[in-house]
């Protein structure tokens, strides 16, 4: 078999070109496959390409069979799904072709909550999908469960897209955030191709509804706008000083804060877009008033949205404690009041199924209860 996933678009198009088949048929194939998933017809042991995807050139069926076989054309399978008690969050455990697992999380929001430009927001219930780009992660962030796995392997573009395919069977996905397992910019080519597939036919997601989060891979940030203009960039900053970053994020040693901020300044100059700054609140590590002032001074020349993230427990691996709500509120007030920086506090979602920020590590979640109110979609805030 030459192609891992039918959604590895670049490889499939190259195979078609070798046989003189136009690339325009690729999204047609994907459209039929998505329809089959919606009808729960993907588990057929014998996959009949002519029946499932009609009206292709005869040579296309030969290419598909020789490269993808005659069983289900997906390289991954949905192993299990866990729903939070409030039904606002669903975690998908996805088994890859090599037997490894990744997790993707569906988060449901009400986009009518809050205001935009002083007016009530239009819209309604929407879903954001948090997807993985790697099995494990080599960044080793000490507050993140995925980092405890170490790095296993990169996902192909098709394996990334298949997470969206699986999730679409449960919710209509409007936003995609690369905030799951792995550092997206360490799998740059596959992530860029996956985004291009998601924004093309038949998915047609808006590029402004897709966010890539990075710890700050400078050389990749420097080319990201040229490759994906209009994409949202989120930076896992988590500290206002290099020494604190290196303590909680060992990989930060390779990306000095001054050079990272210069790179972000150039990115913003080219893109003219707000950057989301992610900042996890760790008790007595990076949550004091002095840290808020340091962060404010670091960011005061940027157009950013700072998202303060309550620390989620990662079990016995955790050496940190969450910041109190009072200190989070004070931190937010300093950034807003003193430095006029738009600052939000991320709402807890999926903690009862280990689907919250920093908890993705491939395990069987505990059951408990969570909030029941629909939440405002944080991804709307950077638009």
**How many CB atoms sit inside 10 A of residue 81's CB?**
16
**Helices 188-199 and 9-18, packing angle to 10 deg:** 80
Query: Which residue of the set 137, 278, 357, 379 is catalytic?
Result: 357
Are residues 287 and 246 in contact, defined by beta-carbon separation less than 8 angstroms?
no
Q: How far apart are CA 165 and CA 54, in angstroms?
A: 20
| Residue of 103, 162, 183, 351 marked catalytic | 103
Return the H-helix or E-strand segment holding 177.
strand 173-178
* 379 is known as an active-site residue: no
* Element housing 66 (H / E): helix 58-68
Helix, strand, coil percent values for the chain (each to nearest 5)? 40, 20, 40
Active site residue 357: yes
Of residues 286, 238, 231, the one with CA closest to residue 260: 238
Asked, as a colleague might, if the bond just before 4 is cis with ω within 30 of 0, I would say: no
What lies within 8 Å, CB to CB, of 290 at 6+ separation is none
Q: Could you tell me how many helices (H) and strands (E) the chain has, helices first?
A: 11, 14
28 phi and psi, to 5 degrees?
-65, -45
> End-to-end CA distance of the chain, in Å?
42
Name which of 283, 218, 287, 309 is nearest 257 in CA terms. 218
Instruction: Determine the 3-state secondary structure of 271 from DSSP.
Output: helix
Ordered DSSP codes for 221-232: HHHHHHHSTT-E
Residue appearing with tokens 């679409």: 168
Alpha carbons 321 and 304: distance in angstroms, whole number: 27
Active site residues: 103, 357
């Amino acid at each position: 078999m030459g192609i891992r996933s039918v959604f590895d678009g670049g490889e499939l198009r190259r195979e078609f070109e070798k046989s003189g088949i136009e690339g325009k048929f690729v999204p047609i194939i994907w459209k039929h496959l998505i329809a089959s998933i919606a009808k729960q017809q993907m588990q057929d042991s014998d996959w009949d390409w002519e029946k499932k995807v009609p009206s292709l050139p005869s040579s296309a069926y030969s290419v598909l069979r020789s490269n993808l076989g005659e069983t289900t054309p997906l390289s991954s399978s949905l192993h299990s799904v866990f729903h939070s008690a409030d039904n606002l969050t669903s975690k998908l455990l996805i088994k890859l072709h090599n037997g490894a697992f990744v997790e993707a999380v569906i988060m449901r929001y009400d986009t009518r909550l809050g205001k935009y430009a002083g007016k009530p927001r239009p819209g309604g219930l929407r879903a954001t999908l948090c997807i993985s780009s790697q099995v494990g992660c080599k960044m080793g962030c000490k507050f993140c469960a995925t980092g405890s796995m170490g790095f296993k392997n990169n996902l192909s573009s098709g394996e990334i897209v298949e997470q969206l395919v699986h999730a679409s069977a449960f919710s209509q996905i409007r936003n995609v955030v690369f905030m799951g397992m792995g550092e997206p910019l360490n799998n740059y080519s596959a992530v860029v191709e996956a985004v291009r597939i998601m924004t093309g036919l038949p998915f047609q997601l808006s590029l402004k509804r897709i966010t890539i989060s990075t710890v700050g891979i400078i050389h990749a940030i420097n080319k990201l706008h040229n490759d994906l203009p209009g994409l949202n960039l989120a930076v896992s900053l988590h500290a206002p000083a290099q020494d604190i970053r290196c303590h909680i994020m060992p990989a930060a040693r390779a990306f000095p804060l001054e050079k990272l901020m210069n790179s972000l300044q150039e990115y913003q100059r080219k893109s003219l877009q707000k950057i989301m700054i992610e900042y996890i609140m760790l008790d007595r590590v990076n949550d004091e008033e002095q840290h808020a002032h340091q962060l404010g001074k670091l960011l005061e020349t940027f157009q950013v949205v700072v998202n303060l993230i309550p620390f989620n427990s990662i079990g016995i691996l955790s050496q940190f404690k969450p910041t109190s709500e009072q200190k989070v509120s004070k931190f937010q007030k300093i950034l807003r009041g003193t430095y006029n920086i738009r600052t939000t506090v991320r709402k807890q979602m999926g903690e009862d199924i280990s689907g919250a920020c920093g908890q993705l590590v491939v395990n069987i979640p505990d059951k408990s209860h969570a909030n029941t109110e629909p939440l405002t979609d944080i991804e709307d805030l950077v638009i």
